[in-house]
Amino acid sequence: MALLILLLFIAVPVIEIALFIQVGGVIGLWSTIGVVILTAMLGTALLRHQGLDTLRRVQESLAENRMPVVEMFDGLCLVMAGALLLTPGFMTDAFGFLLFVPPFRAVAARAIGRYIVTHGQVHVSTSGMGGGPQGGPFDDPGYRAGGPAGPSGGPVIDGDFEEVEPETDKIGNSPDSSGNDGHGGNR
């Protein structure tokens, strides 16, 4: 993998320089510089438009209690597209514009997914709701597989309460809990 990255760091600039020389020889120096600046501005506008759309789709997914996996992959592709379009060069611009095309992103997502499933190892870990190093409400020893249990092993019922003041008689005396009316007699 390190060798591949090294080759990319060497090959990409060499190819870009060769393309600059070829295109500059055909359309001229200032036109070439203009094209590079134009692609950077166009890429920025596309990134803003598609990025806001992706953010809206992420919010919709979260509102529907769905993991926004596709939207997160699209966001990652858009970040890469923006970086490639801001990098001066025709080959990087071509790859950057490809990443703005949704069908290309879908094909790339399927290919990467297949590669990960066949060659990679996927580990998922969570924390905060139990099972993690920080613990959580379900790490309570009283919690059973069938649901939370109270100290006696029975179910726990959550509820709300409101404290109600006892009623007073016309003189201002309130009855006590023994059934006494506050005047020495029973009701």
DSSP string, 146-181: TEEB-TTSSB---------PPP--TTS----TTSB-
> So what's the pLDDT on residue 116?
83
159 assigned to some structural domain:
no
> So what's the pLDDT on residue 96?
92
Tell me the C-alpha distance between 91 and 98, whole Å. Answer: 11
Structure tokens at 157: 């019922």
Q: Domain limits at 63?
A: 15-118
pLDDT tens-digit readout, 58-82: 999 999 988 888 899 999 999 999 8
> So what's the pLDDT on residue 113?
86
20 assigned to some structural domain:
yes
Tell me the C-alpha distance between 96 and 84, whole Å. Answer: 5
161 assigned to some structural domain:
no
> So what's the pLDDT on residue 19?
93
32 assigned to some structural domain:
yes
Q: Has this prediction a pTM greater than 0.85? A: no
Tell me the C-alpha distance between 108 and 128, whole Å. Answer: 33
Low-confidence ranges of the chain (pLDDT < 70): 122-156, 168-187
C-beta of residue 154 within 8 angstroms of C-beta of residue 142: no
> So what's the pLDDT on residue 115?
87
101 assigned to some structural domain:
yes
60 assigned to some structural domain:
yes
| The total number of structural domains that make up the chain | 1
Q: Exposed, middle or buried by CB within 10 Å (0-12, 13-18, 19+), for 92?
A: buried
Tell me the C-alpha distance between 155 and 44, whole Å. Answer: 57
Q: Sign of torsion, CA 149 154 156 162?
A: negative
> So what's the pLDDT on residue 108?
92
Q: Sign of torsion, CA 85 87 93 96?
A: negative
Tell me the C-alpha distance between 77 and 97, whole Å. Answer: 10
Distance (Å) of CA 135 to CA 141, 151, 155 = 12, 20, 22
pLDDT tens-digit readout, 140-164: 454 444 445 545 556 667 777 778 7
74 assigned to some structural domain:
yes
145 assigned to some structural domain:
no
